[in-house]
Amino acid sequence: MTTARADLNRRTTLGLLGQVALLAGTAGTASAASPVRDERATSRELETLQRRLALAPRRRDFKTVPFMVTRKDQWDHEAAELVLAYRNRSLQVWEATDIGAPWLNLMREALNGQVFAHGNPGFLAVAAVHGSAHLSLFSQPVWDKHKLASLTGGAAGANTYVAAKAGASASDDVQDVAGYYGPGNNNIATLQQRGMVFVACHDSIHAIARGLCHAGHGEACSPDEVAADLTNHLVPGVILVPSVVAFLVELQRAGFTYAKAG
């Protein structure tokens, strides 16, 4: 009985080893036949967020706005809530205050690192913009109308922070320093296209409006009306919140890691 049992155990073991080898061979064949993953593809979750954000309301028809926002119909709360509800293993918020600092470059580097080095195409980065950096979130016509270049401290004569580099394409080689993913393509439009979210600050907008009125828009200049005009000319896709410094609290509570971008 002992010899028979040992023979049975030996045959059983050999049979299991054969099955393991067969499964390993099958897995190897399937792996070899699988296509190489396109690391530049965004995740389904991020693509869904981008579509929902594109459909979320942006309030840009103000005649006048108050010093302090107290009602939801005065800001883009639907879009803001979509951002706060997004889930990914890595979320980051960059606070940008100085228009002359390399904040767009730092954000691009973080995005490249997460997507290409860490294999996280669903990474979401938010730019929480206020201070002089906020000037970059206004369209060129309003720069011309209100002479916003005079507020940059010589950093810019026009809003060069928005448009993508001519000829750059998402199909560019990721190692091409002069291409789509390189430092020569630091701009809001490209980062938005790649899934990044830019948040505008009502408090900063009203402060800029008060400064413009004080600087010589005329005795009849109304900061509330100038702030409304600035708000109505925010760059497309930007999300308006009552206060960026207050929204930073909400973002960090939702799991976003804080970084200072200048």
Per residue in 173-219, pLDDT (tens digit) is: 999 999 999 999 999 999 999 999 999 999 999 999 999 999 876 66
What local confidence, expressed as pLDDT, does residue 45 receive? 94
What local confidence, expressed as pLDDT, does residue 101 receive? 95
Contact in structure between 262 and 222 (CB atoms under 8 Å):
no
The phi, psi pair for 204, rounded to 5°, reads: -65, -40
- The residue among 135, 160, 158 whose CA lies nearest residue 230 is 135
Residue 106 half-sphere exposure, CB side, CA atoms within 13 Å?
Answer: 15
Model-level pTM? 0.84
Contacting residues for 257 by C-beta, under 8 A, at least 6 apart: 90, 91, 92, 93
3-state secondary structure 126-194: EEEECHHHHHHHECHHHHHHHCHHHHCCCCCCCCCCCCCCCCCCCCCCCCCCCCCCCHHHCCHHHHHHC
Structure tokens at 218: 């005329």
What local confidence, expressed as pLDDT, does residue 153 receive? 92
What local confidence, expressed as pLDDT, does residue 82 receive? 98
What local confidence, expressed as pLDDT, does residue 218 receive? 62
Residues of the chain with pLDDT below 50 are: 1-40
Residue 150 half-sphere exposure, CB side, CA atoms within 13 Å?
Answer: 10
